[in-house]
Amino acid sequence: MIVADREAGGVDGHVGWTASSYKAGPVCGFRNDGCIPSADDHPTMEWTNDWMLHVRMVVAVGSLAVVAAALAGVLFVAFSWLAALAARNGYLPGGLTGVAGAGATIVLVVAIVVIEGRYGDSLVLRSVDAREPSPEEFPDLHRLVNRVARQADLPVPTVLVAETTAPRAFTTGCTRNGATLVVSTGLLDVLDGDELSAVVAHELAHVKNRDVAVMMAMSLPLVVAQTLMDWASSGWEDPNHESSSVGGIVGAVIFAVAGLFWVVGRVMFRLLSRYRELAADRGAVAITGSPAALASALSTLDEAATEIPTTDARTSASIAAFSIVPPEPVEAESREPLMLGPEGDRAPYLYRETQPLREIAARILRTHPDTDDRIARLQSLQRSL
């Protein structure tokens, strides 16, 4: 792992970034009032649109439409079969099975879109139990966010703080005026002032690039596919469930088709997610003028990810694609498995034989580019300044 050069020098146990070519501002602790870096410590923003990111987002939206249409077809088949079953038992006129299937499909799809569009942010924020603190409670944090938002030429986002030791930072919201920035107390504890400025700039770069709304829209097929798989498999997991052989076959087909869509949607989701992180890294540098500060922050957060408690790690996994770094470093993919057997010395069946395949799948589905690669890119950019 690439680790940035650091030295003690922060306030309240924080550490400071040292780089000969970086004009560092004052190092501050953000759990209590104190100093913050001055706006004069950073150059004026020179923002350029990332057209490759825009192209990827357009392709992602087009692919999303294809996947959504195919999923709607699967839903229509499933609901039509249920309507035919109801008609066979006298609960529905036989001539209305197609109409009932189409109507149920439209109602479900519209409901999911409305819920995601109106309450998607709330559902994500509820999963991390974030709250909006007063400016008096976190004065340095509010002043820093206001300053970085001005540098980025963006409206000041709503700032929420999550009380957890897991170092988190992510942004939600479908518009620039409706953006919400979430940081955790764990993140505020491990970053110094310049690092925190870089992290906030990275998150606001997502807002400026308008990629948050696309990511939230792309999560829709995953939600629908997961719901279908849960429904189709519910009968298999219930030993008291009685179903016809036809029903079992239909359930298996729906599960297989929904699973295929889930994999396709997840691959599309991850590919855009990885590129948008690199684009936001470049955007953060444009806003702050300091590749070194962001490299230092990524190194700190990557190290801290290995110390997240199990309960916090589960919650972090639910927002992995929106976080600045993944919940766990890439090295976690090659950890030893939980051993089985009376003596605890037997690996799961075919575990080692399938390990190369699982590692390939894990890398394809990863939400973020390798953190070491991101740090190396930033260090190279710092040397070129």
Annotated catalytic sites, by residue?
A: 203
Retrieve residue 292's tokens: 């070194």
**Paired tokens of 148:** 């970085």
Q: How many CB atoms lie within 10 A of CB 191?
A: 30
3-state secondary structure the chain: CCCCCEEECCCCCCEEECCCCCCCCCCCCCCCCCCCCCHHHCCCCCCCCCHHHHHHHHHHHHHHHHHHHHHHHHHHHHHHHHHHHHHHCCCCCHHHHHHHHHHHHHHHHHHHHHHHHHHHHHHHHHHHCEECCCCCCCHHHHHHHHHHHHHCCCCCCEEEEECCCCCCEEEECCCCCCCEEEEEHHHHHHCCHHHHHHHHHHHHHHHHHCHHHHHHHHHHHHHHHHHHHHHHHHHHHCCCCCCCHHHHHHHHHHHHHHHHHHHHHHHHHHHHHHHHHHHHHHHHHHHHCCHHHHHHHHHHHHHHHCCCCHHHHHHHHHCHHHECCCCCCHHHHHCCCCCECCCCCECCCCCCCCHHHHHHHHHHHCCCCCHHHHHHHHHHHHHHC
What tokens does 272 get? 């855009």
Q: CA separation (Å) from 54 to 41, 75, 110, 369?
A: 31, 31, 27, 18
**Alpha-carbon distances of 122 from 172, 177, 263, 271, rounded to whole Å:** 9, 16, 26, 25
